[in-house]
Amino acid sequence: MLEGVRILDLSRMLAGPYGSMLLGDLGAEIIKIEEPGEGDLTRTAHAQAALRGISAYFLSINRSKKSVTLNLKSEKGRAIFYEMVKKADVVYDNFRPAALEKLGCTYEVLSKHNPRIICCSVSAFGHDGPYRDLPAYDIILQAIGGTMGLTGPEIGEPVLMGVPMGDLAGGIFGALAISAALYQRERTGRGQKLDVSLLDSQISLLVYLGQTYIATGEIPLRRGAMHPLIAPFRSFKTKDGHIAVVAFQDKFFESFCKIIEREDLLSDERFDTMINRALNKAELYVILDEIFPKKTTAEWLEPLREAQIPSGPVNNIQDALNDPQVRHRNMVVEIDHPEIGKYEALGNPVKSSVMKDGEFLPPPTLGQHTEEVLTSLAGLSAEEIRSLRDEGVI
């Protein structure tokens, strides 16, 4: 879908590389620019979790890319980069603003070389405001953005979301912004600067919880696996695990009560309407917590699904990745890597009638495509490339 779009990817770690991988999965040519000799820190920083010697962290977010080593701190390196910018569509980074300025890679500089260039920066706090130059990681964004304060049991400490949404949301919004900017450029012919903040992304994810506070002035509390506004909407302990069930609508609740053999709850004035069930959910959950442990998760799932009541097992990652629906949708795919051979990886969630699903470039080795890209984009000869390598520019 994005074939013909060329993105120079200066990002590293998690937020940026996840976003550029999504764009690469959709067909864009992603050229990952890395420090000579070192590369993205995630190549080595998480070596304790490796697949045949290659960091699992790096493998998870860097497929569908090419790797070029280039020292942007050197004048020659920047000159080569500017030549590449002339033949690119997007420059994508996740530096702090001051670092981007120091490298000479701001939109103001790059647009002079290519007025059609789109520059997307994904940073912790954005390019303005009092936190502009502060460093941050996922936990800091979840903490400041309110999502950590909403996650965890009602009694106890706030906890991180199970997946690093402080970072991942920024990558997703970055990919969305780039796609929109490419569409606009088709109409205007000009590029633009995109400023995506990870904190802004967390605030956006507050959705109805944030709006509820604005509307009522009441601060939503941590509710564990419960929904703050409706019931039943929760996970329950079964004989052999846990199950998640949503049956707050009247039609579902009626079927639900028949399945759990408690039709008397339908006439109980505490639970006879959606509003009453929400107001008295604590009492309802006391009753349900005594019922669900009587059967296994599978024994509950069969009648619940037959009645079309939204329900599912609370899976660990092993169970999730082997779920028949997940496998059917190509969300676990096989990739052939030049160093470690074939391995399984997570698939692309976007399915398209015009795009072949499940085929990706493997995550590149460090500098794997340097000569190819510098020859085609910067017009360098083999002799010039050898000289740059000797000087440590590449």
Number of domains in the chain: 2
Q: Half-sphere exposure of residue 341, counting CA atoms within 13 Å on the CB side?
A: 1
Q: Out of 89, 93, 167, 200, which one is annotated catalytic?
A: 167
Q: Among 314, 348, 368, which residue terminates a domain?
A: 314
Quick one: 85 and 32 in the same domain? yes
Quick one: 305 and 330 in the same domain? no
Q: Give me the pLDDT at residue 47, please.
A: 67
Tell me if residue 167 is catalytic.
Answer: yes
Bridge-partner residues for 67, per DSSP? 32
Quick one: 16 and 44 in the same domain? yes
Quick one: 161 and 282 in the same domain? no
Distance (Å, whole) CA 271 – CA 274: 7
Closest among 75, 81, 80, 76 to 93, alpha carbons compared: 81
Q: Give me the pLDDT at residue 388, please.
A: 96
Quick one: 338 and 310 in the same domain? no
Residue matched to tokens 């994904």: 122
Task: Specify the CATH number for the domain of residue 247.
Answer: 3.30.1540.10
Distance (Å, whole) CA 199 – CA 133: 13
| Alpha helices per DSSP H over the chain | 15-25, 56-61, 75-85, 97-103, 107-113, 138-144, 165-188, 198-204, 207-216, 250-259, 274-279, 281-291, 297-306, 317-321, 324-328, 370-377, 382-391
The domain of 273 spans: 233-314
CA triplet 60, 62, 63: central angle to 5 degrees? 90
Quick one: 270 and 193 in the same domain? no
Query: What is the CA 304 to chain-centroid distance, rounded?
Result: 31
Q: What is the pLDDT of residues 326-343, one digit of tens each?
A: 999 999 999 999 999 999
Low-confidence ranges of the chain (pLDDT < 50): none
36 within a domain of the structure (yes/no)? yes
Q: Give me the pLDDT at residue 394, please.
A: 96
Closest among 337, 269, 301 to 50, alpha carbons compared: 337
Quick one: 118 and 260 in the same domain? no
